[in-house]
Amino acid sequence: MENILSINNLTKKFGYLTAVKDLSFTINKGNVYGILGPNGSGKSTTLGIVLNVVNKTSGDFSWFEGQTTTHDALKKVGAIIENPNFYPYMTAYDNLKLVCKIKGVDYAKIDEKLGLVGLLDRKNSKFSNYSLGMKQRLAIASALLNDPEILILDEPTNGLDPQGIHQIRSLIKQIASEGTTILLASHLLDEVEKVCTHVVVLRKGEKLYSGRVDEMISSHGFFELKSAQQDTLISFLQSNPDFLSVKVEGDLITAFLNQPMDASIFNTLMFEKGITLSHLVKRKESLEEQFLKLTDNN
Amino acid sequence: MYRLINLELQKLLLNRASKVLIFISFILPFTVLILSSIKINFFGFFTLELGELGIFNFPIIWHITTFFASYFKLFFAIVVVSMIGNEYSNKTIKQNLIDGLSKKEFILSKFYTIVLFSLFATVLIGLATFFIGLYYSSYTEASIIFRETEFLLAYFVKLVGFFSLCLFFGMLVKRSAFALAFLFILYIFEWIIFGAATKAFTLETAWKIKNFLPLESMYNLINQPFQRVVMTKYPDNIDMAYDYGVYWYEFVIVIGWTALFIFLSYRLLKNRDL
């Protein structure tokens, strides 16, 4: 599989603070990647480094298997970081024209991409008159101008209203369906779960997980239990090696499995032990729960 | 190179404020020059004709026009600092780099624009001076006309040097207004060094030191022409004699500063996290 970006042992220190610690992962062509992490986990810093705006402290990264310099590689990349940054006094068209000049792209692309994001009728309005949603869409149009090999989006739905969020997401899905590799940084889990095939989870600059989204979710699951004999149940669960951990919230007991176990087998087991359950549900973690587990417990 | 200039010109010319300032910085010295060269009749009381003073004679006219025109460089200086300040306040510098402009290209596009502007301003002043001179000058032999045209070169180098200084201050403080304040501070700072050097050494040594400082070295390229004008009227007055020439070492100092400012701007950007 073609390698688009590989990051090896990347570290960034801001004074005493380590924003990115010994991070390694690779981005392959054709997948949709999510970088997940709470605020301040080093997502934007990592993207900043590979996009040539933040200097790394150590480690290295290479675009397209190191065949070109970073700034030449970036001409084949489309990226938006946090807020859309354009010249407020220029029209949308002129702003994109400037990007064309930087990337060496034909001006004919401008109308095509403005049409894609639905801004063609406003192309001669000044950027400063745009709403946030329109600015974000213009940023996506700008990132797509060069028909990039990879599209990098950092919190693309930040600050948008539900309609705007929906528009941007369907746009991302549409772009992904056309085979463009996407790297999406977000702290919104459902966003990543809905859009991404692969995920990298960061916390305090360290990589906690990287791999496919469905593999991350597929742990052995957990039971949600309620019983009148709560203490007996808890002590049984804690002594049983099949269970990883037990969490008690009020009268609800959550028991995380260490290895696969069917709900009916568990029920039989309870019956044999003389514990009667008033509530038994077997569930698998959503990405959100998995993510919170990863970022809290480590 | 064409691509980088083209890029910067789009940024400047679509911005109304900088467009007006650029226009002013070209047109104003030109207008002042033309106005001062025409005969002004003050309501029949007397006529003021600066041409009569002999200041439009070749070769002194080269000296006079370049000296006065260089004061108008402040308008473009505002454009230079704001073209850096705006990139930071709009965060477009970040987007430019993400879009695939290298940090070196970013600085070069600003520098090329500065050179282009200075070149344009020099050619304009050169042409205006040439025609006004032809009209007024008592001497019209080619050898006299083209004597002292080194003032034009001095003017060009002076502009490039000064704007490079502005570029560096712009990169350093990221805010246009502060960058202009820094220029003023530097001016005062040079005098403080001069004062300190006078105390420590002699007045002569202090001048020698000051001549190496950025603003003074740029000023030195084109010395004030007033004394010279007086000298032409009273050629016997030896006390008035001073050295107004343009020397190679004056060029070397200013070009040295220019190179340093551009290099430092690049280093600043290179080491900065945006």
Q: What number is the average pLDDT over the span B95-118?
A: 93
Where residue B171 falls among pLDDT bands split at 50, 70, 90? very high
Q: Is a pLDDT exceeding 60 seen at residue A298?
A: no
Q: How confident is the model at residue B47 (pLDDT cuts 50, 70, 90)?
A: low
Crossing angle of the two packed helices B150-173 and B60-69, in degrees rounded to 10:
10
* Residue partners of B105: CB distance under 8 A and separation at least 6: A71, B4
| pTM listed for this prediction | 0.84
pLDDT value at residue B223: 83
B9–chain A Cβ distance below 8 A for any pair: no
Residue B237: per-residue pLDDT = 65
Q: Does the CB of A71 have a partner CB in chain B at under 8 Å? A: yes
| Least-confidence region, from A273-277, B229-233, B244-248 | B229-233
Q: pLDDT of B198-221, one tens digit each?
A: 888 888 888 888 889 999 999 888
Q: Is B199 on the interface with A (CB under 8 A)?
A: no
CA atoms of B61 and B54, how far apart (whole Å):
9
pLDDT at A89: 93
Best mutation target among A99, A102, A130 (most B Cβ atoms within 10 Å) is: A102
Collect all residues of chain A within an 8 Å Cβ-Cβ radius of residue B102.
52, 69, 71
Confidence of residue A88 (pLDDT cuts 50, 70, 90): very high
Place of tokens 């490079």: B164
The predicted model gives A47-65 an average pLDDT of: 90
Identity at A236, one-letter amino acid code: F
Tokens 């344009």, located at residue: B120
Determine whether the interchain pair B100/A14 forms a contact, defined as Cβ–Cβ distance below 8 Å: no
Domain A222-297 has CATH 3.30.1460: no
pLDDT at B106: 94
CB-based contact, B94 to chain A, within 8 Å: yes
Residue A42 pLDDT greater than 70, yes or no: yes
Partner B contacted by A81 (CB < 8 A): yes
State yes or no: pLDDT of B49 exceeds 70: no
Tokens (6 digits) for B189: 């700072």
A100: pLDDT strictly greater than 90? yes
Distance CA A69, CA A65 (A): 11
**Between residues A221 and A275, which one has the greater pLDDT?**
A275
Q: Do A53 and B97 touch (CB under 8 A)?
A: yes
Asked if A90 is an interface residue toward chain B (Cβ–Cβ < 8 A), one would say yes
Once rounded to an integer, what is the mean pLDDT over residues B67-79? 88
Pairwise CA distance, residues B213 & B5, whole Å: 30
Facing residue for B92 by CB, picked from A55, A86, A104: A86
Instruction: Give the CA radius of gyration of chain A.
Output: 24
Residue length of chain B: 274
Please, which residues have CB within 8 angstroms of residue A128's CB and are 6 or more apart in sequence? A88, A89
CA dist list (Å): A201 to A23, A37, A77 = 11, 6, 22
B108 confidence band (pLDDT: 50, 70, 90): very high
Mean pLDDT, residues B242-261: 88
Q: Map out the domains of chain A as residue ranges.
A: 3-217, 222-297
Whether cis (ω within 30° of 0) applies to the bond prior to B29 is: no
- pLDDT one-digit tens code per residue, A113-163: 998 888 899 999 999 999 888 898 899 899 999 889 899 988 888 878 888
Q: How far is Cα B34 from Cα B55, in angstroms, rounded to an integer?
A: 13
Question: How far A53 CA lies from chain B's nearest CA (Å)?
Answer: 5
Give just the sign of the alpha carbon dihedral B21, B25, B27, B32. Answer: positive
Helix (H) or strand (E) holding B48: strand B46-48
As given in the structure block, the two tokens for residue B15 are 């911005």
Q: A103, B100: Cβ pair inside 8 Å?
A: yes
Q: How many CB atoms lie within 10 A of CB A12?
A: 23
Return d(Cα B59, Cα B228) in angstroms, integer: 12
**Quick one: average pLDDT of A75-94?**
89
- Token match 């340093």: residue? B260
The answer to whether residue B90 neighbours chain A at the CB level (below 8 Å) is: yes
**8 Å CB contact between A97 and A145:** no
Answer for the pair A255, A237: CB distance below 8 angstroms, yes or no.
yes
B15: DSSP letter: S
- Is residue B269 within 8 A of residue B106, CB to CB? The reply is yes
Instruction: Give the H or E element holding residue B40.
Output: strand B40-42
* Residue A219: per-residue pLDDT: 67
B229 or A116: whose pLDDT is higher? A116
Q: What is the CA radius of gyration of chain B?
A: 21
Average pLDDT over residues A89-105: 93
Interatomic CA distance for residues A107 and A122, integer angstroms: 17
Q: Do B98 and A81 touch (CB under 8 A)?
A: yes
pLDDT of residue B266: 95
Average per-residue pLDDT in chain A?
85
Q: Note whether B95 contacts A: Cβ–Cβ < 8 A.
A: yes
- Closest among B149, B125, B153, B122 to B58, alpha carbons compared: B149
Q: Tell me whether domains A3-217 and A222-297 share a fold.
A: no
Distance CA B100, CA A239 (A): 59
The CA distance from A168 to A156, in Å, is 7
How far is B229 from B223, CA to CA, in rounded Å? 12
For B41, which DSSP code?
E
pLDDT tens digits, one per residue of A247-275: 888 888 888 887 888 888 888 888 888 88
CB contact A72 to B (< 8 Å): yes
Query: How far separated are the first and last CA of chain B, in Å rounded?
Result: 25
Given this model, what pLDDT does residue B31 score? 80
pLDDT of the residue at B52? 67
- Say whether residue A97 is in contact with chain B using an 8 A CB cutoff: yes
Instruction: Kindly write down the DSSP assignment for every residue of chain A, as one continuous string.
Output: --EEEEEEEEEEEETTEEEEEEEEEEEETT-EEEEE--TTSSHHHHHHHHTTSS--SEEEEEEGGGTS-HHHHGGGEEEE-SS----TTSBHHHHHHHHHHHHT--THHHHHHHHHTT-GGGTTSBGGGS-HHHHHHHHHHHHHTT--SEEEEESTTTT--HHHHHHHHHHHHHHHHTT-EEEEEES-HHHHHHH-SEEEEEETTEEEEEEEHHHHH-S--EEEEEES-HHHHHHHHHH-TTEEEEEEETTEEEEEESS---HHHHHHHHHHHT--EEEEEEE---HHHHHHHHHHH-
User: Which residues in B lie closer than 8 A to residue A87 (C-beta atoms)?
Assistant: 11, 14-15, 86, 90, 92
pLDDT band at A233 (very low <50, low <70, confident <90, very high): confident
pLDDT at position A93 is 94
Question: Is the predicted ipTM greater than 0.95, yes or no?
Answer: no
Contacting residues of B for A90, CB less than 8 Å apart: 14
Domain ranges across chain B: 2-271
- One-letter identity of residue A245: S
Interface residue A224 vs chain B (CB under 8 A): no
Query: A217 falls in which pLDDT band (50, 70, 90)?
Result: low
* CB–CB contact B90 A85 (8 Å): yes
Report the pLDDT averaged over residues B3-28.
89
Nearest CB partner across the interface for B3, out of A69, A77, A101: A101
Q: Which two tokens stand for residue A118?
A: 């639905």
- Which chain B residues contact residue A83 at CB under 8 A? 91
Q: Which of the four pLDDT bands, split at 50, 70 and 90, describes residue B160?
A: very high
Out of A227-231, B135-139, B180-184, pick the least confident: B135-139
Which residues are paired to B173 by β-bridges?
Answer: none
Q: What is the pLDDT of residues A157-207, one digit of tens each?
A: 887 888 888 888 888 888 888 888 999 888 777 777 777 888 888 888 888
Whether A149 and chain B come into contact, CB under 8 Å, resolves to no
Cβ separation of A98 and B91 shorter than 8 Å? no
Which letter does DSSP use for residue B24 in this model?
Answer: H
Bridge pairing between strands A3-14 and A58-63: antiparallel
Identify the band that residue A11 occupies on the pLDDT scale cut at 50, 70 and 90: very high
Would you state the pLDDT for residue A84? 87
Q: Assess if CATH 1.20.1070.10 describes domain A3-217.
A: no
